[in-house]
Amino acid sequence: MPDLTLILLVLVIGSALIFDYINGFHDTANAIATCVSTRALSVKAAIFMAAILNFTGAMVSTKVAATIGKGIVDASSVTQMVVLAGILGAIIWNLITWYYGIPTSSSHAIIGGIIGAVIAHTGPDVLQWKGIEKIVLALVLSPIAGTIIGFIFMVVVMWLFRNQSPGPLNKGFRKLQVASAALMAFSHGTADAQKSMGVITMALLAYGMIPSFVVPTWVKLACAVAMGLGTAAGGWRIIKTLGRDFVKLQPVHGFCVETASASVIMGAASFGMPVSTTHVITSAILGVGLSKRLTAVNWVVAYRIVWAWVLTIPAAALMAFLAYQGLTPLLGR
């Protein structure tokens, strides 16, 4: 008779790595949309660069993983089924939004998924509300920071180069944008792969395979590889939304967007705050667009993006809740 808890653990780890893979191609656009749209890099070159640097960034730190794994729910109340249902809820929402080309947050999706699965399992009492408040605060403040810093970067750069004609200016910034896109891809790895690290470590702790919440090296490596491979698969639908439909960008704008975004993301990651790379770079694009004029922003696209942001946590929670209810008769609690 096979050990059901071991089977569930394997399913959890596999699902978390699939989530990381999907996160890679879903959020590839975060790092490379602007450099592709400004033709600083070809799609293939940009995706290859992002894949390598996503992998590298994912191996750097585990502070965000600890926040995800311990900050949402009391780890002693988590079962393999809870983690599995939470991941499935996040995966379903990510695939839906990817299909429609809407740049939503994988961070929001996994947080919402875990919350929904926990509520289905034991109700809301075991949720760590202080930890959730910290996470939600970071997710709310980071787009504001992205918008403000993107706006300031753009204003400062345009003031410094106010005597330059647009042609030579953009030619120079097309080269600089490759470096800023690389920095953005690295920061994406430091932030996003850690969500799956936290989820897998939570499952290992629930199974009893590890004595305390410490991310094993093999988990870091597996998540980094999964995200790198997912990034290599690309995500053209979302690249088009961010890089072409939202705000028309030139290389100087792309440089400011990527540099501002990477600054916010790596700053938050250093404090273990799980910000959304999607929200940060989208808001930085908004800030850069606003520095030109209000009409530079496609407000119809902005409206769609904001609604997707608002809906992600409750939508992923609902899907995880339903996944838990559907899987329980088959696999137990």
What mean pLDDT comes out for the span 7-21? 88
> Which is more confident, 128 or 101?
128
Look at residue 30 and tell me if it is in a domain: yes
pLDDT tens string 171-184: 888 888 888 888 88
> What is residue 239's predicted lDDT score, i.e. its pLDDT?
58
For 177-193, give the DSSP string.
HHHHHHHHHHHHHHHHH
Residue 276 lies in a domain: yes
Residue 318 lies in a domain: yes
Arithmetic mean of pLDDT, 238-261:
71
Q: Is residue 332 part of a domain?
A: no
| Any domain includes 331 | no
Residues 6+ apart with CB under 8 A from 199: 12, 16, 19, 68, 69, 83, 86, 87, 110, 114
The per-residue b/e assignment along 149-174, b for 16 or more CB within 10 angstroms, e otherwise, is: bbbebbeebbeeeeeeeeeebbeebb
Question: What total of structural domains would you count in the chain?
Answer: 1
The answer to whether residue 51 sits within a structural domain is yes
Residue 333 belongs to some domain of the structure: no
Task: Residue 29: give the domain boundaries.
Answer: 4-325
What band does 333 get if pLDDT is binned at 50, 70 and 90?
A: low
Mean pLDDT of 126-153: 83
Instruction: Name residue, tokens 């919440």.
Output: 213
Q: Check pLDDT > 60 for residue 246.
A: no
Reply yes or no on whether the pLDDT at 62 is more than 70. no
The angle at the Cα of 285, spanning 281 to 290, to the nearest 5 degrees, equals: 145
Highest mean pLDDT among 25-39, 293-307, 313-327: 313-327
- Establish if 330 belongs to a structural domain: no
Confidence of residue 1 (pLDDT cuts 50, 70, 90): very low
Query: Stretch 118-132: mean pLDDT, rounded?
Result: 84
Provide the percentage of residues in the chain whose pLDDT is more than 70. 83
Q: Which pLDDT score, from 0 to 100, does residue 124 have? A: 84
Distance CA(108)–CA(312), nearest Å, equals 6
Contact yes or no for 16/196 (Cβ under 8 A): yes
For the chain, the first-to-last Cα distance in angstroms comes to 18
